[in-house]
């Protein structure tokens, strides 16, 4: 066995190391080798006790927390009860399916601390459902919805001191499902590992809440029909790194991709969905197998309808940008981010970023729900006790 790729080895500890039992009820009075060595038991931290972090300087980068969650199964079995472990590296075979054939998917969700001290998750069942859909596409077994949500809740509770104070950020939670079993021929891995780790974060883009400047790069596409662009597989993300790097070298925030067939219709940004606003109408590209079904996207569509906007999911020609009043992006990491300009074929199209803004109205409602400032009548939030 050797150390795994940089994608995985910075996440978690050896799967064979001692760890907590999975049920939080078992925490009381329990100590283990994993919890020792300067780490206190999660239940001993008070509700207002925080990790030693400068919350004012928090960005969107990895800040290792105390614990992670691990659960394993074989390809012909179901996932059983998992466990919490110290956050560290894992050992993995050099012939693991994820390292050789990219058999892996991931999710992203956030935990927020409310003004009255509660801890809220936002629609984790939707992440679980999306992981199950992605796992089926990638020929992988998947945790059940309940297993997924329980694992996220346990991970957040164990790392609660890393949840930023209200208004200072969120605890970003990253569930992973990867083929860790050894395989040489092109086939599904014989064993799978479900991992959950977390990191406190704030703004995804360096611009913060300032408008983004996007670039349409016609040389690269993010996904093609019949591929896996509609699921959150790890293989969708490394291919866009070159396009992002080239755009940032030119002073842009990110890349907006067009469809692979006609190079005419908007699809999505590297890590988020795209919306355009014209008057009372809000449009976003329809889900067609090449666009990720974003949970923030889904939530914003419903919030927009609640606010009285006409919402449509359709094919959006790139030429429609010229008539748009506003453009914004959505995603778990980015939240709702305004777009100030989009450059296409050396033409810079600018959008409204001042006065009464639709994106701001929707963003305020979304964040209000996520942080408990607005009463949740939809059943979207899950409180962690």
Is the whole model's pTM more than 0.85, yes or no?
yes
- Positive/negative CA dihedral, 144, 154, 302, 265: negative
Number of domains in the chain: 2
The values of phi and psi at residue 16, to 5°, are -95, -5
Catalytic residue among 110, 160, 232, 278: 232
Spell 228-256 as b/e; 16+ CB within 10 A means b.
bbbbbbbbbeeebeebbeebeeeebbbbb
CA 90/CA 17 separation, integer angstroms: 9
CA 363/CA 300 separation, integer angstroms: 8
Which of 156, 172, 201 is the last residue before a domain boundary? Answer: 201
Judge whether 20 lies within some domain.
no
Say if CB 244 and CB 255 are below 8 A apart: yes
Furthest C-alpha separation in the chain: 64
pLDDT in tens, 315-333: 999 999 999 999 999 999 9
> Do 326 and 355 have their domain in common?
yes
> Do 248 and 175 have their domain in common?
no
Judge whether 122 lies within some domain.
yes
Only one residue has tokens 């931290």, namely: 45
Say if CB 162 and CB 200 are below 8 A apart: yes
> Do 339 and 235 have their domain in common?
yes
CA 47/CA 209 separation, integer angstroms: 29
Say if CB 35 and CB 20 are below 8 A apart: yes
Which of 166, 201, 236 is the last residue before a domain boundary? Answer: 201
> Do 274 and 167 have their domain in common?
no
pLDDT band at 33 (very low <50, low <70, confident <90, very high): very low
> Do 182 and 241 have their domain in common?
no
> Do 240 and 360 have their domain in common?
yes
pLDDT in tens, 178-210: 999 999 999 999 999 999 999 999 988 877 678
Q: Which residues are CB-neighbours of 64 under 8 A, at least 6 positions away?
A: 87, 199
Judge whether 21 lies within some domain.
no
Which of 143, 171, 201 is the last residue before a domain boundary? Answer: 201
> Do 195 and 268 have their domain in common?
no
Give the pLDDT of residue 38: 64
At residue 161, the 3 state secondary structure works out as: helix
At residue 213, the 3 state secondary structure works out as: strand
Judge whether 36 lies within some domain.
no
Q: What is the number of other CB atoms lying within 10 angstroms of the CB of residue 348?
A: 11
HSE, CB side, 13 Å, CA atoms: give it for residue 381. Answer: 22
CA 343/CA 5 separation, integer angstroms: 36
Structure tokens at 15: 């799967």
Give the pLDDT of residue 37: 52
> Do 250 and 313 have their domain in common?
yes
pLDDT in tens, 83-126: 999 999 999 999 999 999 999 999 999 999 999 999 999 999 99
Establish whether 232 is a catalytic residue. yes
CATH number, residue 280 = 3.20.10.10
Q: Of all helices (H) and strands (E), which one includes residue 244?
A: helix 241-249
Domain carrying residue 126: 67-201
> Do 227 and 346 have their domain in common?
yes
Give the pLDDT of residue 270: 94
CATH number, residue 133 = 3.30.470.10
Judge whether 168 lies within some domain.
yes
């Amino acid at each position: 066995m050797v150390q795994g790729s940089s994608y995985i080895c910075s996440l978690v500890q050896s799967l064979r190391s001692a760890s907590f039992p999975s049920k939080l009820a078992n925490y009381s009075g329990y100590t283990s080798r994993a919890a020792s060595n300067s780490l206190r038991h999660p239940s001993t931290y008070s509700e207002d006790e925080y990790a030693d972090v400068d919350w004012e300087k928090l960005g969107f980068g990895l800040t290792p927390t105390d614990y992670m969650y691990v659960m394993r199964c074989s390809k012909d079995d179901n996932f059983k009860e998992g466990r919490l472990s110290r956050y560290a590296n894992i050992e993995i075979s050099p012939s693991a399916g994820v390292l050789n054939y990219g058999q892996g998917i991931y999710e992203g969700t956030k935990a927020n601390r409310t003004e009255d001290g509660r801890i809220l998750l936002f629609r984790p069942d939707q992440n679980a459902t999306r992981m199950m859909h992605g796992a089926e596409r990638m020929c992988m077994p998947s945790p059940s919805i309940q297993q997924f949500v329980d694992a996220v809740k346990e991970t957040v509770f164990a790392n609660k001191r890393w949840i930023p104070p209200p208004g200072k950020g969120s605890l970003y939670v990253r569930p992973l499902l990867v083929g860790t079993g050894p395989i040489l021929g092109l086939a599904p891995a014989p064993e799978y590992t479900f991992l959950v780790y977390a990191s406190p974060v704030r703004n995804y883009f360096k611009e913060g809440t300032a408008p983004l400047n996007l670039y349409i790069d016609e040389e690269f596409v993010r996904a093609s029909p019949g591929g896996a662009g509609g699921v959150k597989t790890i293989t969708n993300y490394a291919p866009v790194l070159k396009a992002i790097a080239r755009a940032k070298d030119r002073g842009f925030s990110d890349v907006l991709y067009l469809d692979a067939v006609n190079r005419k219709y908007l699809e999505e940004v590297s890590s988020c969905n795209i919306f355009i606003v014209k008057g009372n109408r809000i449009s976003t590209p329809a889900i067609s197998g090449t666009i990720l079904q974003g949970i923030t996207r889904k939530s914003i569509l419903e919030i927009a309808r609640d606010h009285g906007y006409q919402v449509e999911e359709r094919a959006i020609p790139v030429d429609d940008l010229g008539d748009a009043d506003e453009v914004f992006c959505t995603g778990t990491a980015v939240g709702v981010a305004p777009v100030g300009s989009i450059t296409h074929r050396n033409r810079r199209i600018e959008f409204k970023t001042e006065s009464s803004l639709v994106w701001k109205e929707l963003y305020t409602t979304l964040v209000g729900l996520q942080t408990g400032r607005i009463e949740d009548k939809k059943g979207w939030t899950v409180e962690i006790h």
